[in-house]
Structure formats: structure tokens, C-alpha cells
Structure 1
Amino acid sequence: MLAGLEKYVLPVFLKIGENKVLVAIRNGLTLTIPFTIVGSFFLILGNLPIKAWTDFIEPVSGMLNAPVSVTFGVLGLIVAIGIGYNLAIGFGVDPISNTVITTVAFLLATLTEDFTIDPALLDATGMFTAILVAIFTTFVYRFFVVKNITIKMPEGVPPSVSRSFASMMPAATVIGSIWIIHVLLKINLNEILQWIFQPLVFGLSTLPGLMVYTLLACFLWSCGIHGPNVLAGIATPIFLSYLAANTAAFQNGQPIPYEVADGFWILFMSIGGSGGTMGLVLAMLRSKSKLYRSLGKLSFPSAIFCINEPVIFGFPIVMNPLMMIPFIATPMVLGASSYVLMKVGIIGKIVFLVPWTIPPIIGPYLATNGNIPAAIWSVCTIVISYLIYLPFFKIAEKKQLLIELGDNKKITEETVVADH
């Protein structure tokens, strides 16, 4: 299988992955890594599913969540900055000017109906808008540069001032365009995205409906759009209604009606986070690559609590055609298997809502009212995730090892030259 992937699949995906825009987007997303790691630490600290602990920290819970608000809470803004900068580098325009224009345009594109900045619109749900705005800004800026349409200052004017005036016309064009689209025409890109996919999210209590939802959510996430968040406005009310029906049936001693209920996605499909990336983290922990081994060590603590932004943006999964396959396939396999096992009565169905940060094994056990087979199956999902990710990870690892070998060789040669 590995040889087949390397011979037929990898060349196609590598060609796609070398696209300037995709490379810039991937590089821009890595800017989120330190913020997601720091935010993950405080998120876990403030949401440990232990009653004694939650009671103890209740007086300072708001303080513990403050860093989360300014890390996870502004991921869209961070992405706009990172991608705007990297696109500028890739397309040869002034990085600082392009980044600032992108940031201002993104903030304009996410204004509320009363034209104020709503912090809630700056999180991961705004990534799609951030990516589009960054691409639009860079291409507009590049057009003005290529056509040499700029405000030229007299000789003797400081370079920093000249650059500021050179970016004025691109800035006016970008901001004016976003103003027309979002303010005058009231077009909301995130709402449009939900509207586009709404007809496709059907029958979430059925296996086909669950598979379509999973495919859409994970595909969007692998493209840099927080799929579960984008579809949450449509799917969450449905999942919650199924959970309410299950809980009511359990209280009345009746058969549990729904296999898929709120919590199913996290507990049985997203082991380690969206895409079921726990298996990838475990593979990284045993990697021969220093980079992947270090990333695995950094990601493992948060993965236990179903937080995997460090993996999604650090590996990366986003805009990585090769890793898109297991990222979509893993939750689909786990979801279908869990659905069938519940349908035939081998594992229990969800009757309680548990915190989404609860670790594997414990979460399924508690949510199914102490169903031991559900806890055992949780262990199996980790193994399945590992087996699905492993061949794809080996391909990525092989390429990374060549890069590291080249870097080490270069360092050795430079050391020898310096010694002589």
C-alpha cells in the first residue's frame, strides 16, 4: 500500500501542494501554533472533568479562560495576519503593507450589523473569510505593483514614507471592495457558506446523513475552514434534540431511540480532535524525525483532551492534500463502526452530555451511563486511528527525514569550512 501511494498518489498531491497560494496558506497557518498550544494549556486547566477541581477553581474560572479568549478566540485574526504576510513573500509585494491591509480588510469583513467589531466573529469560524480576504488583498496589491500604478514620492523622501504611499491605492481598492460587499450589500461569507451546505446536511440520525456531515466537516477543516463550527448552526440543534430524546427515554426506562446524539462526534469520531488525529499524534511520538517527534510531544497532552489545533496547523493537516485522506477517512470509519455497534446493541448509546474535553475511554463510559463495552471500543478507536494514519504519516516522515538529513549535512559542511 505504501509503495502504491508513493508511486501514484504522492506525485499528484505534491504538485497540488506546491501551488504558491496553498504553500502561503499553510505557512501562514503555522503562526497559530504557539497561540493554540498556550491556549490549550489554559483550556485544559479550566475544564478538567473532575468535580472537585471545577469546584476549587470556580472563583477564578473566568481568569483561567481569559487567555483562551485571546488565543482560540482570535484564530481568524491570527490567520489573516499570517497568510497575508506569507502571500506577500510568495508574490513579491511589501509584506508589512500587505499584512496590515489584509488585517484591516478582514476586520471590516467581520463587522456586525451595527458596524462594530464583535470578538466572537474573530475566532476559527472566521478563517474562511480570512483566507479569502488575504488572497484578494495580495492579488490586488500585486496587480498595482506589476502595472506600476502607484503614488510616487519625490527623491529624498524616507523609504518608509514612500512605501506607505505606494500601498495607498491597493489599500483603498481592497477596503473599498470589502466595504461594498459586506457593508453596502450586507454579504456575509460565513453565512453564505452555511446556506450552501445546508441542503447537504440531512438525516443526521441516519448513517448516510452522518457520513455526508462528516465528509463536509472534515473536508472544510482540511481546507482551513473550521467545518464543525461552520456546520454547527445547522447540526448542533439537531444533535441536541436527539440527546434530549435519548435522555428522556433513559429516565423513563424506554429503549434509547438515537445512535447519533450530541457528543457522538467528539466521543466516538474525534479521538484526539477533529479528524481522529490521536493516531497521528501517537505515530509522531515514535517518529525518527526530530520535528515530528517534538510536535508529537507538544501535541499529546492537548490531544488527550480532544484539542488538536497544534496538529492541524503544526503538522500541518490544513492544505496538505496527502494528510487530507486519513483526516477524512478516520472519522468516517470510526463513525460508521460506532453507529453499527450501537445499532446492534454491542455498545451503549449516549444518554448523558459530558464535557467535550473529557479524555477517551472515560468520556464514552460516562456518556453511556457506565457502559463498559463503550469504554473498550474507545480503546479500539485509538488503535484504528493509528493504523489509518500510519502509512500516510510514513510518507510525510520519509520526506521530512530527507530535509533534516540535508540540513544536518549543510551544517556539518559549514562547520568544517569554519574550522579551516
Structure 2
Amino acid sequence: MEKFLQWIEAKFMPPMAKLAEQRHLRAIRDGIISTLSLIIVGSFFIIVAQPPVKAWSDAIAPNAGKILIPFRLTTGLMALYAAYGMGYSLAKSYKLDGVSGGVLSLAAFLLLTIPVNVDAVLTAAQKAGVKGAAPIGGWVLPMANLGGAGMFGAILAMIFAVETLRLLKKYHVTIKMPEQVPESVARSFEALIPAAVIIVVVWFIRVWLNFDIQKFLMDVFKPIQNVAGNSIWGVIVPIFLITLLWAAGIHGVSVIGSILRPFWLVALEQNAQAAAAGTASTQLPNLVPEQFFQWFVWIGGSGATLALCILMVFSKSEYLKRVGRFSIVPGIFNINEPIIFGVPIVMNPILSIPFIIAPLVTGIVSYIASAAGLVGRFTVLAPWTLPAPFGAYAATNGSWAAAILTIVNIGIALVIYYPFFKMYEKKMLAEEHAAANNQLSM
């Protein structure tokens, strides 16, 4: 195992570290993260509209549509917000104006959706014969591709818009204003020609060629999305790669999450929409959005390290006991850098084995439980710092079985970590005794 970890450090780690900092992937990661506050708040309106207690749910049902409006305008528009955030981040990485990059990305993304004319559509009040009710008319923008389903389109629009802005500025195909002109005005004129190119190109492709880029991208990525969202391989492969990278000292979630997060967000949004439509928690379309890993697998952080924290608190090794005591409180709230770098787990051939195996086992157990309908599936983006049972309960919109499963998984992780922990504890005790003897002999 030690030679394997050395090989990872020498051969595997450099390209993965480089991939994690690739500017486009970093922009995607930062742009999506910028939307999380909206998505978290919006997701909780599903819990309010569809509470886990039937009596409450029946009482709220007449107003459920009104309660869900914040959800539809936050989580339901996540790709819209992400388009701006990603464009801003990528433009800044090129030392371009971030606002211009965000606005142009947003414009390119919106142009991928053709507005619909709904003149003559009447309000429910008119249909019911209420006098004085005004008609709803004009052009509206369908929301279907502005949420998770449109994330791939948002990414493509962002790359096209910012790269166009960069290339035109590089070759000085912009309008340069005198220095006396206010910066905000100069910035707008500088983006004028890039905006014209971006809008005309996207308009021509989407409208005149009638090429639905959103549908094309969804068709292309559908096999990957199905694997990522519903397959056992969508559980095993990410867990293995993330823990392997962490064992080598690379933030595995940053690397793998940058690639898979768009698929996970699509899966979560589809579940949330199905839940808002009244689908039972155990019958939602996707088993494995990112929250599956957060609450069933990464209990205490990547590697399911809360179990190791618990073992270390009662360790005979003075060093491990101290690390366990200052790591367990952060671990309860899913922060495990203290234990990963304090033990350390990084480049540790003994503890790296359960660090990889425990999440794989709990991930497979949780997948089987979810596929069998024994636990609720995920609809809510709950704050990741919640203790696991509470987070699982909130994120599944009130599934007690999901909360119980997290406790079962902690027990499984304890069993897997225990023999490796005792092996490492024995090694640390020998070192501590040797150090104490050296002190006495001096």
C-alpha cells in the first residue's frame, strides 16, 4: 500500500492537481457554488409546502402553490444564476472584467431558450367568470431549461461568451473609450462588439438553424447522467476516486466534484420538481444526487472519518487521543481537515485503507436501501454542516429511515476502521514509549 501511495503521489497526483486548477473547471465550480445560498433557501420551501406530517400537509395543501414560488424562482432557475457566476469567474481568471463576462454569459444562455407568445391566455379567475380579472398575455420564457436541466447549456454558453470576449479583446476588436470616460461606461462600450458577435451567433444557431442546443446536450449527456444519478457505478467510482485523491493529499471533492456536480445538480432538481408535484419520497427519479454522498457516505467528512474520531477519543495513544478530541466536534459538523492532516491520513498506508473501504461499503449499503425504497430520496440542499442524521432527515424532506441509515453507516464505518486503527495505535504507542525512554536516558 505504501508503494501504491508513493506511485499516486509521483504519477497520479500532479495531473489531478493540475486538473483541479484548470480555469474552466474552476469557473464551473465557483459559479455553481455562488448559487448555493439561493438553492439551500429555496429547497427548504419544499419542506414547508410538503411537510412530513400528513395532517400538516393536508392543512397546507391549498396554499402549496404559493409557498413553492420561492423554490421555483431559486432552485428552479439555478442554471440562470450559475451562468452569471461562472462567466464572472472565468472572465476574472483571464483578468477581464468579471461583470461583462457574467452578463454576456447570461445573455448567451438565455438566447438558447425561445420565448413563447401566450396572448389570449386567461387567468384562472377569468375562466371562473370573475368580473374585472385581467388577462395574462405577452411573451413568456419557459422555465424548463433554466434550472438543473439547463446546467450543461449554461456551461457551454459561458465558455463561448467569455472566450469570445477574450479573443476579441486580445486582438483589439473592441471599442476603446478615452480615459476621461467613467470606467463603468468604458466597460460597457468595450463589451459592445463581443456582445454583438455572441448574440448574433447564438441567435442564428438557435433560431434560424433551429438547433436546440439544450436538447442536444441533454441527449449527449443522458447516459452519463443516468449512470451518475441512478447506477451503482455512480456511487462506487466517485467514492473511490475522491478517497484515493484525498489519501494522496489532493482535495478529492474539488477535483471529482467539479466534473460531476452539474450531473448531480440535474438529478437533485429533477427530484425536487417531482416532489413538488406530489411524488412519494421513495419513488423520486434519482437515487444519487450529491446529497446521497453528503449524508449517507461522507459522515464526518470525506472518508467517513467521524467513526475514526470516535475511536481516537478513547485511544491509549496520547497523541491520537488529543487529535481525536480536537477533531470530533468539527467532525460532527462534517469538517475533517483536522483529522486528515492531524493523524495524518494523507500518505498513511495503514489508515488510507479504511479511509477508502468504509465509504465504499456504506455507499453500497445506502444505494441498496435507496433502490429498495427503504429510505427517502433527496430533494433538499440542506446545509452541509448539519450533523448527519439531522441533515439526512432534512434533505429527504422528513425521512426518519434516512436518519437511521446514517447511524447504521457510522456503526459500519466503526467496524471497518477499528482493526486498522488498533494497528496504527500500536505503532504510535511504540513511538511514544521510545520517545519517553529517550527522555529518561538523557
The normalised TM-score by structure 2 is 0.56
Match of 1:279 among 284, 291, 297: 297
2:364 aligned partner, one-letter code? V
Structure 1, unaligned runs of 5 or more: 238-242, 245-260, 300-324, 343-348, 390-420
Which amino acid letter does the alignment assign opposite residue 152 of structure 1?
Answer: K
Which residue of structure 2 lines up, in the alignment, with residue 124 of structure 1? Answer: 148
- The answer to whether 1:223 aligns with 2:247 is no
Q: SS at the partner of 1:80?
A: helix
Picking from 168, 173, 176, the partner of 2:192 is: 168
Alpha carbons of structure 1 residues 298 and 100: separation in structure 2 relative to 1, 3 Å: farther
Question: Cα gap change, 1:382/1:35 in structure 2, threshold over 3 Å: closer, same or farther?
Answer: farther
How far apart, CA to CA, are the structure 2 residues paired with 1:362 and 1:28?
A: 25
- What is the Cα deviation at residue 230 of structure 1? 6.8
Out of 68, 77, 83, the position equivalent to 1:65 is 68
Superposition pairs for residues 29-48 of structure 1, below 5 Å?
29-48=32-51
C-alpha offsets along residues 267-288 of structure 1, whole Å, 9 cap, x if unaligned? xx56x82445443253389699
Contact persistence 1:25–1:83 (CA under 8 A) = yes
Correspondence for 2:89: 86
Task: After TM superposition, give the deviation of residue 216 of structure 1 in Å.
Answer: 10
- Residue 136 in 1 paired to residue 160 in 2? yes
Given the superposition, is the C-alpha separation of residues 330 and 17 from structure 1 closer, same or farther in structure 2, using an over 3 Å criterion?
farther
How far is 1:178 from its partner? 1.0
Partner deviation per Cα, 1:344-384 (whole Å, 9 max, x = no partner): xxxxx54x9978559869999x99xx9x9x99767545666
Aligned counterparts, 1:290-309, within 5 A: 297=333
TM-score, normalised by the number of residues in structure 1: 0.58
Query: In the alignment, which residue of structure 2 is the partner of 1:180?
Result: 204
Q: Post-superposition shift, 1:138?
A: 0.9
Give distance in 2, aligned partners of 1:223 and 1:110.
24
Could you tell me which of 54, 59, 65 is aligned with 2:57? 54
Q: Work out which of the two has the higher radius of gyration on C-alpha atoms and give 1 or 2.
A: 2
The sequence identity of aligned pairs, in percent, is 29
Q: Which letter maps to 1:280?
A: W
Q: Which moved more, 1:374-383 or 1:104-113?
A: 374-383
Cα pair distance change 1:159/1:122, threshold 3 Å: same
- Partner Cα separation in structure 2 for residue 173 and residue 293 of structure 1: 53
Q: Evaluate the alpha carbon distance shift between residue 111 and residue 224 of structure 1 in structure 2; reply closer, same or farther with a 3 A threshold.
A: farther
Q: CA RMSD in A?
A: 5.1
- In structure 1, what is the equivalent of residue 429 of structure 2? none
Contact 1:190 1:230 (C-alpha < 8 Å) held by counterparts: no
Pairwise CA distance, 1:171:
0.4
Q: Distance in 2 between matches of 1:295 and 1:172?
A: 51
Q: 1:40 to 1:195 in 2, by over 3 A?
A: closer
User: How many aligned residue pairs are there?
Assistant: 317
Q: 2:19 aligns with which of 13, 16, 19?
A: 16
For residue 137 of structure 1, report the CA deviation from its aligned partner.
0.9
The equivalent of 1:303 in structure 2 is none
Structure 1 residues 231-380: aligned runs within 5 Å: 262-263=283-284, 265-266=286-287, 273-275=291-293, 277-280=295-298, 282-283=300-301, 297=333, 333-334=364-365, 349-350=372-373, 379-380=407-408
> Could you say which residue in structure 2 is the equivalent of 1:146?
170
Q: Say whether the 8 Å CA contact 1:24–1:83 is kept in structure 2.
A: yes
Question: Shift in Å at residue 123 of structure 1?
Answer: 0.9
Counterpart selection for 1:195 from 208, 213, 219: 219
Asked if structure 1 preserves the Cα contact closer than 8 Å seen for 2:292 and 2:378, the reply is: no
Segments of 5+ residues of structure 2 without an aligned counterpart are 118-138, 240-255, 310-322, 336-355, 381-388, 418-442
CA distance in 2, matches of 1:107, 1:226: 20
In the TM superposition, what is the alpha-carbon distance from 1:134 to its structure 2 partner?
1.0
Note closer, same or farther for the CA distance 1:175–1:378 as it changes in structure 2 (3 Å cut): same
**1:46–1:57 contact (8 Å) kept in structure 2:** yes
- 1:32·1:78 contact (CA, 8 Å) conserved in 2? yes
